[in-house]
Amino acid sequence: MEEYAQVTRILEGGTAEVEIRRHSACGKCGKCGHINNARFEVSNPINAKVGDIVVLEMETRHLITAVLIIYLLPLVNLIIGYALGNWFNTTLNIWKGEGFAIFCGLIFMALTFGFVRIYDRRMGVKSGFKPRIKRVINDSR
């Protein structure tokens, strides 16, 4: 996946802060809501300078992995939690109705979001999961 951005700040450790601006086509979509620009910390292996317009790249396999973890894993665990809660409820007759199964599903999903947060912090330091500057399009110098 590639995206265009402007370097706003050079950080330590070979990284830079970039700002991705919404395209005119994005305004018509409305999915981003009120967000106009987004700032990210990215790897800067080519030593881009402040003001440079750059192309960002993230490996497709890492992007797909992240999407599956963020969107699919909580849904799967919601279903697993519901199924286990339903099984326990029918076996032990804990609660009347489906309330216990729904409660278990929500607990499993909440625990998954906690796991995703911890996983995100660990994977954020790995270079493959962090977007990197691929090339400079417009040199600010």
Intervals of CATH 2.40.50.140 along the chain: 2-59+130-138
* pLDDT value at 64 more than 60: yes
CATH 2.40.50.140 is the classification of domain 2-59+130-138:
yes
Max intra-chain CA distance, the chain: 72
Nearest to 58 by CA among 120, 133, 116: 133
Residues 129 and 61: their CA atoms lie apart, in Å, by 9
pLDDT digits (tens, 9 = 90+) for 28-51: 555 555 556 788 888 899 999 999
Q: What is the pTM of this model?
A: 0.61
pLDDT at 26: 53
**Helix, strand, or coil here: 35?**
coil
**Model confidence over 101-139: pLDDT tens digits?**
999 999 999 999 999 888 877 776 665 667 888 999 876
If DSSP codes are grouped into helix, strand and coil, which group holds residue 140? coil
